[in-house]
Amino acid sequence: MEARPMLQGPTRGPKKASMATASFSRTLSRHGIRLERGETITLQINVGLLCNQVCRHCHLDAGPNRLELMDEDTFNEVAAFAQRVGFKTIDITGGAPELHPNLISMIERLSPLAKRLIVRSNLTALEDTHPDRFIDVFRRHGVVVVASFPSLNHIQTESQRGKGVFKKSIKALQRLNAVGYGKEVPGLELDLVSNPTGAFLPPSQAQAEERFRRFLKDKWGVVFNHLFTFANVPLGRFRQWLHQSGNLGHYMERLISSFNPCAVEGLMCRTLLSVAWDGYVYDCDFNLAESLPMASGKTHISEMQGPPKPGTPIAVADHCYTCTAGAGFT
Amino acid sequence: METYYKPEDLHKFQEIGKEAPELAKKFFDYYNAVFAEGDLTGREKALIALAVAHTVQCPYCIDAFTQACLENGSTQGEMTEAVHVATAIRGGAALVHGVQMRNIAQKLSM
């Protein structure tokens, strides 16, 4: 699949040729790697770009002024597809899913269709809307909550996510713990996701998890199951910030020089199908952000009988260096 | 504006091996071994290196190890404390030599 040139400057506006010296697709070729799908076992549903936060690392440019939300007809197509296929995992993301007016009915409809149902939360959307009502629904359906928690330092957290986020996030985590999330019994899974608060790569996941576990427990009595560290993808608002802060060239160099061919095998795009709020499908959420359709062309979920077959090439562009940097992004 | 220090020069560090390549190889092998995970973690070593970089006031090292500390999950609070450790040792080293001053002053004085 031919790589698209990396965009220069903000994503909204004129597109210029890439300054990256080695395109991702050429790097794959040099290593003799073809990036192809394996068995698709996860359906990731982006229910909309409406969000209560304006995080600086957001690859989707989500925010309070984004009104794109998945309508009922589109959701019905998505649910029908999920029922036809029988995914192992369904993953609801956004924006802030809690701001979608139909999130609860979506959870009720999707929960019987997969062994594992994930809802991603920035924690403040949970805390600011109907926390007890949502948490009760999550608990009853055994929803896996994957929550954003970038840093143990409140100044760094708020530099990325906005004022007051740190304190609200702790409160939301304590609420989730109170009903059993993050504890061995009753087995309600609560995972944290940490993105770096700037133009640098994340630390070792294992070491970060150990530090987060100790610090959150000792200071706030908060427990969780797993911590995932993810690099920031140079798209959307994060790309704008990289450009405005003069960090874009350096960050791209960092990603390119950290390319790890061993990370390709475990890439999430190999086993995941992403569907946008409008029903169009992508190989991953980052390709969705970039409006980069699958190799077979722009496809709506209503046109698909089943997931792409194993061996189908995956659409790539230079933002893919993010997922193959260091230990990778799975 | 002319300046002795340019950030892009940090990337040219390996070029020092163009003259005396064997010595450069010995140095970089040792350097990489020092910073590998050992009884101290990579994160702890990066914080130590950051503090030492401030003590010797090497702008290349400060640049490199600021990035390394961030990528090892250190917070800016921790990194600031490390700089204070450097400050305390550097300042303390000056101050403790005041004992020498006092010894000499007492010998010379009535």
State pLDDT tens for residues A63-78. 999 999 999 999 999 9
A95-109 average pLDDT score: 97
- Residue of chain B whose alpha carbon sits nearest to that of A203: B72
CATH class of the domain comprising A24-322: alpha beta
Whether B52 maps to a domain, the answer reads yes
Which chain B positions have a beta carbon within 8 Å of A153's beta carbon? 75-77
Is B18 within the bounds of a domain? no
Q: Do A153 and B75 lie within an 8 Å CB cutoff?
A: yes
What is the total count of domains within chain B? 1
Q: How confident is the model at residue A241 (pLDDT cuts 50, 70, 90)?
A: very high
Residue range B71-108, pLDDT digits in tens: 999 999 999 999 999 999 999 999 999 999 999 999 99
The range of the structural domain enclosing residue B51 comes to 40-110
Instruction: Give the least confident one: A13-22, A84-93, B36-45, B58-67.
Output: A13-22
Show me where the domains of chain A are located: 24-322
pLDDT in tens, A273-328: 999 999 999 999 999 999 999 999 999 999 999 999 999 999 999 999 999 998 77
Determine contact, residues A56/A23, Cβ cutoff 8 Å. no
A55-69: average pLDDT: 95
- Of the candidates A231, A190, A224, the one whose C-alpha atom is nearest the C-alpha of residue A209 is A224
Contact A24, A318 (CB under 8 A): yes
Q: To probe the interface with A, which of B37, B66, B76 has the most A CB atoms within 10 Å? A: B76
Q: Is residue B53 part of a domain?
A: yes
Q: How far apart are alpha carbons A117 and A91 in whole angstroms?
A: 6
Cα dihedral A28, A29, A33, A36 in deg (nearest 10): 80
Q: Which residue of A has its CA nearest to B66?
A: A200
Q: Where are the strands (E) in A38-131, listed by range?
A: 42-46, 89-93, 116-121
- Check residue A330 and give its pLDDT: 57
